[in-house]
Structure 1
Amino acid sequence: MYTTSNEEGILNNYATEPKLYYAEYPSPEQQNRYLFQGAVAVLFVTSIVLIALGVS
């Protein structure tokens, strides 16, 4: 953390900036995992909506 002080003694703190990096395109294995997670999420939300409609 970088800290400065003015003439009145008031401190001013600056956060350290993280090192930047470029994102990598997901591999085919990761893409398949994302597809599976999306399908599970759709089924989960659909079941919750249907249960809520059935209960009401």
Structure 2
Amino acid sequence: MTITNESGGRQNAFANEPRIEVINSRPSSYKRFQLLALLGAIALISIIGIYLVI
């Protein structure tokens, strides 16, 4: 703990903060999977829509 003295003789105690961990972004393979899943869902909805119209 860090202790500082203020004017007037008061003391402040500050806790030590934990180290910051940098979290890496998701790998590109996950993003590619998300894109393919989205395109697949759009294709499936389009096929069902075309089938219902015809």
TM-score (norm 2): 0.52
Q: CA deviation at 1:27?
A: 1.4
Identical-pair percentage: 10
Work out the CA distance in 2 between the residues paired with 1:25 and 1:50.
Answer: 38
Backbone CA RMSD of aligned residues:
1.8
Counterpart CA distance in 2 for 1:34 and 1:44 is 15
Which has the higher Rg, Structure 1 or Structure 2?
Answer: 2
Runs of 4 or more above 3 Å deviation: none
Question: Which residue number corresponds to residue 25 of structure 1?
Answer: 25
Map 1:32-43 onto structure 2 (within 5 A).
32-43=32-43
Which residue number in structure 1 is paired with residue 46 of structure 2? 46
User: Alignment length, in residue pairs?
Assistant: 32
Question: What is the Cα deviation at residue 39 of structure 1?
Answer: 0.7
- Measured against aligned partners, the alpha-carbon deviations of 1:20-54 in whole angstroms (never above 9, x if no partner) come to xxxx7321000000001011101000000000001
User: Which structure 2 segments of 5+ residues have no match?
Assistant: 1-23
- List alignment gaps of at least 5 residues for structure 1: 1-23
